[in-house]
Homo-oligomer: A and B are copies of this chain.
């Protein structure tokens, strides 16, 4: 069942090494099927050059395995919370991509220093706090998702499809798995340039708001005119 979904999720997972977002198995991609409410996700700890579409695991939003010979990604509970709390999200990516993870380790959000960032993400990319000891012990992966959902509550989360988890890594999302990977690539590129920007000008300020607005709305919303309609 859901062969097309598994194929798309497999292909999106294979983009992670292609875009150098991961080392070994340090990442995972999922996509949800709106009809059934099931999602497909990478199995835990299987090497990328051995993966096949058939290895993808089908889960429901209660955390039950519907189909698959492997255990799902150990971050599955985080994906579930995001799908449940942010219903426009249809694809999710987790990586430890090196520049973005360096910002996460530094405990800092990424200011919007230019149009590369503003083209895809509106405002500062947030870095959410560490979980408390209690939250970790109770349900680490689930509470990571709870924290993210809580941060984005009452916001336009499709306009900021990325978050850094302090001392950990990144989650990005999108309207499907491939779109979420696209945002993971943008995040890493933006993280790299922002770090170098600060190296070149330690007093740098974010890009003017009107420039951020122009670029974001050139590509998104009713008045977008970038691309082929």
Contacts and interface: CB of A to CB of B under 8 A. Distances in A.
A114 B104 contact: yes
Of the listed residues A45, A46, A211, the one surrounded by the most CB atoms of chain B closer than 10 A to its CB is A211
A226 B116 contact: no
A34 to B, nearest CB: 25
Interface residues of A, number: 61
Interface stretch (A6-14, A58-66, A154-162, A198-206): A198-206
Given A189-B23, A210-B136, A228-B70, A195 B196 contact: yes
The copy count of this chain in the complex is: 4
Interface string A166-199: 0111000000000000100110010011111111
Interface in A17-31: 23-24, 26
Interface of A: 23-24, 26, 43-46, 70-71, 74, 96, 98-99, 101-108, 113-116, 119, 130-131, 133, 136-137, 140, 167-169, 182, 185-186, 189, 192-201, 204, 207-208, 210-211, 214, 218, 225-229
